[in-house]
Amino acid sequence: MGLRVSKLKKAIIDDHLLLTNILTTGGLLAAGDVLTQTLEISMDKENKQKFCWYRTERMLAVGMALGPFAHVWYSKIVDKLVPGVASTQTALKKILADQLVAGPFFCSGFFFGMGLLEGKGGEGAVAEVKQKFLPVYMIDWCVWPPAQFINFRFLPVEFRVIYVACITLCWNTFLSYYKHMDVNKITEKQEVKS
């Protein structure tokens, strides 16, 4: 059993960490959307909402596009930016760097990428970032610092992206809801007018 785990760790972590992190980031963003759509459909009392695979595919694509930055940020940059042993003080400095650099990048990158893939063009994607960035970024400050404290204080470098991606499943469910809530409201308004 131990030999199999060792081979699996070598294959996933040592040999293909970048690919693993890209697939994990994209897959969990898509999984968050699947959870969101499942909840939305289950709460639709009139059974009018259908599952949209294109929406999930867009979430997967944006997650995979953000995956390389996550890989480089968590496995290389943040430790060089804030060097030191795994202490509370070092973890707090890394959290601050994460919130000031990675948080805005991921948040704006998510809304911009989704806007582009939805066919809104550059201007439409920028407009969506302007509309949704600040509320989501404020909520980000409530969620990610505690999660990142565990990450930076206790986890070895090679497990950081995977840990963050797992926490991200809950975050991605929220992001999918927040991203698409105006679409659901528009649909509801159109149905009321009909």
Residues 6+ apart with CB under 8 A from 8: none
First-last CA distance in the chain: 62
Asked if 171 and 139 touch (Cβ cutoff 8 Å), the reply is no
Query: What pLDDT digit, counting tens, does each position of 92-136 carry?
Result: 999 999 999 999 999 999 999 999 999 999 999 999 999 999 999
Q: How many CA atoms lie within 13 A of 163 on its CB side?
A: 18
Alpha carbon distance 92, 164 (integer Å):
16
Alpha carbon distance 63, 175 (integer Å):
12
Q: What predicted TM-score, i.e. pTM, was given to this entire model?
A: 0.82
pLDDT at position 7 over 80: no
pLDDT category of residue 49 using cuts at 50, 70 and 90: confident
Residues 6+ apart with CB under 8 A from 142: none
The confidence score (pLDDT) of residue 183 equals: 63
Alpha-carbon torsion angle 139, 41, 111, 173, nearest 10: 40
The confidence score (pLDDT) of residue 162 equals: 76
The two structure tokens encoding residue 66: 């953000």
The confidence score (pLDDT) of residue 62 equals: 97
Q: Across all residues in the chain, what is the average pLDDT?
A: 86
Asked if 179 and 112 touch (Cβ cutoff 8 Å), the reply is no
The confidence score (pLDDT) of residue 8 equals: 64
Domain ranges of the chain: 2-180
